Amino acid sequence: MQPPVPATVDPAFVALPLRTLADAALSRAGELGAEHADFRLERLRNATIRLRDGRVQTSRDGHDVGFGVRVVHEGSWGFASGVDLTPDAARAVAERAVAVARISAAMNSERVELADEPVYADVTWCSSYRIDPFDVPDSEKVALLTEWSQRLLAADGVDHVDAELRLVRENKFYADLAGTVTTQQRVRVHPELTAIAVDAAAGGFETMRTCAPAAGRGWEHLTGGIGPSGAGWDWDAELALLPQWLAEKAKAPSVQPGRYDLVLDPTNLWLTIHESVGHATELDRALGYEAAYAGSSFATFDQLGRLRYGSPVMNVTGDRTAEHGLATIGYDDDGVRAQSWDIVGDGVLVGYQLDRRIARLTGLGRSNGCAFADSPGHIPIQRMANVSLQPAADGPSTEELISGVRRGIYIVGDKSFSIDMQRYNFQFTGQRFFAIRDGRLAGQLTDVAYQATTTDFWGALAAVGGPRTYLMSGSLICGKGQPGQGAPVSHGCPAALFTGINILNTTEEGGR
């Protein structure tokens, strides 16, 4: 395999009048007395291809280009955006942003101040990938998805196959009155296939989906194979086994509810981390700023350094620098350089996710770079980093974790979930559930959901796997804010053992 070639920012983006527009907007904001002003020009390209039974159902490729101006004036935020890429339009948008701040000042009870950050005078950053997926012809993308679909359709017991590929290329130019100027490009991909078996006699069906993660990678994620470079997913192996897993699931017995030890594969555990740790440790949420929409958090600010979040083997980091992470950046939308930090150390809450305003408001020092806007028409808000559970340096393999379980369940892949507005009471399901009896896998189960409170669940964490079990998974779209915004985020984790977790039978819970 060829070594990675460093990515470069698309020349067509760099050719836009980035600095001219920034200079016009920032100088006008300064003339009007803004204490802080930043200019952000974005070009987003989103593509989706969907196939049903090997035939194209949807093919979409769209662009969004525009800019936003954000100011702090009279201690209040102001924001406005535009799409006309001319200096006059940039100045007019800056004027509107200041006007919004002036109106807001009359209602604002908390003066907006930003934590200090060094100036980055002229920096460029690109995410880590080898092949820009937008350089690959659509015909080649469709051909690969078709070939994969046909492999599954050729297997006994597979009646239908859904295939989907989502692609994003994000370009951002940022400049502020302090002198920071950043130009960035990142690429992300998410391929997914679902095999479906129909039971016409019973009037039901079963599904089995691939577990390949969404990733901050290029086209090589679909074609690179598995190797020391970690260039992609082993599609051949997963597609070969998917029909077998589906057939076993269709015949599997329904789970008996009760207490079980769980070995959670990282393809399942990432979503539980996202909902019960990632969202719960966003400090704006813990302070109550998100309560009207997606809830607040049980992990309130007064518990920093005191809350027993989980067992002593629980160590969680926030990271905006992890290679191939979906939330990985060079500089955030506050102009803060990416970094990594501890959120949970030895089971105790030791950190939060911050932007510059929240960092200053709470006296926690420097922001850790968690400001993000999903489009030029939206104001940046505090968003999630790559929040990851760390493996044990000499930790066990997945097989070794399973071998120590007398009565339990091994869960692979994510599916549905439910969690309350405090990020405390939850339940999660998965793609595949394997009974564990006396240290060995003993066939699949169905109708499984695990239920707990966040602290009880993480307190039951008995062991984490070693680095070889570690995988980074995630989502292209995590919702937050009003108006709603979607942000990409990854969560790395090893396989992990949890003891005595309550298992529900979803069919019985549904009254069926």
The domain segmentation of the chain, as residue ranges, is 11-251, 258-509
Region 301-306: mean pLDDT is 98
Region 476-498: mean pLDDT is 96
Tokens representing 87?
A: 């200096």
Question: Helix (H, G, I), strand (E, B), or coil: what is residue 213?
Answer: coil
What DSSP character marks residue 303? G
Region 119-133: mean pLDDT is 96
Question: Helix (H, G, I), strand (E, B), or coil: what is residue 363?
Answer: coil
Say whether pLDDT at 117 is over 80: yes
Say whether pLDDT at 386 is over 70: yes
Q: CA angle, corner 145, sides to 431 and 4, nearest 5?
A: 95
So what's the pLDDT on residue 4? 47
So what's the pLDDT on residue 6? 60
Q: Using H for helix, E for strand and C for coil, what is the string for 379-432?
A: CCEECCCEEEECCCCCCCCHHHHHHCCCEEEEEECCCCEEECCCCCEEEECCCE
Question: Helix (H, G, I), strand (E, B), or coil: what is residue 169?
Answer: strand
Q: Cα(262)–Cα(477) distance, rounded to whole angstroms?
A: 28
Region 475-488: mean pLDDT is 94
Q: What is the pLDDT of residues 33-79, one digit of tens each?
A: 999 999 999 999 999 999 999 999 999 999 999 999 999 999 999 99
Q: What is the pLDDT of residues 425-471, one digit of tens each?
A: 999 999 999 999 999 999 999 999 999 999 999 999 999 999 999 99
Query: Residues of 213-246 as b/e, b for ≥16 C-beta within 10 angstroms?
Result: bbbbbbbbbbbbeeeeeebbbebeeebeebbebb
Measure Cα distances from 184 to 18, 130, 133, 474, 503 in Å.
12, 16, 17, 21, 45
Element (H or E) spanning 316, and its range? strand 316-319
Say whether pLDDT at 310 is over 90: yes
DSSP 224-280: S-SSTT--S--HHHHHHHHHHHHHHHHHPPBPPPEEEEEEE-HHHHHHHHIIIIITT
Tokens representing 218?
A: 């290029």
State the residue for tokens 């009896």: 437
Cβ–Cβ < 8 Å for 457, 183: no
Does the 11-251 domain belong in CATH 3.30.2290.10?
A: yes
Cα-trace Rg, the chain: 24
Q: What number of helices (H) and strands (E) belong to the chain? A: 12, 24
Say whether pLDDT at 231 is over 80: no
- Mean pLDDT across the chain: 95
pTM for this model (two decimals): 0.96
Q: Using H for helix, E for strand and C for coil, what is the string for 452-503?
A: EEHHHHHHCEEEECCHHHCEEEEEEEEEECCCCEEEEEEEEECCEEEEEEEE
Q: How confident is the model at residue 227 (pLDDT cuts 50, 70, 90)?
A: very low
Q: How confident is the model at residue 292 (pLDDT cuts 50, 70, 90)?
A: confident
Say whether pLDDT at 414 is over 50: yes
CA 172 to chain centre: 19
So what's the pLDDT on residue 2? 43
Q: Cα(151)–Cα(143) distance, rounded to whole angstroms?
A: 12
Q: Cα(155)–Cα(490) distance, rounded to whole angstroms?
A: 32
**CA neighbours within 13 Å on the CB side: how many for 93?**
30
Beta bridge partners of 195: 161, 208
pLDDT exceeding 90 applies to what percent of the chain?
Answer: 93
Say whether pLDDT at 393 is over 80: yes
Region 368-384: mean pLDDT is 97
So what's the pLDDT on residue 225? 58
So what's the pLDDT on residue 511? 75
Q: What is the pLDDT of residues 233-282, one digit of tens each?
A: 899 999 999 999 999 999 999 999 999 999 999 999 999 999 999 999 99
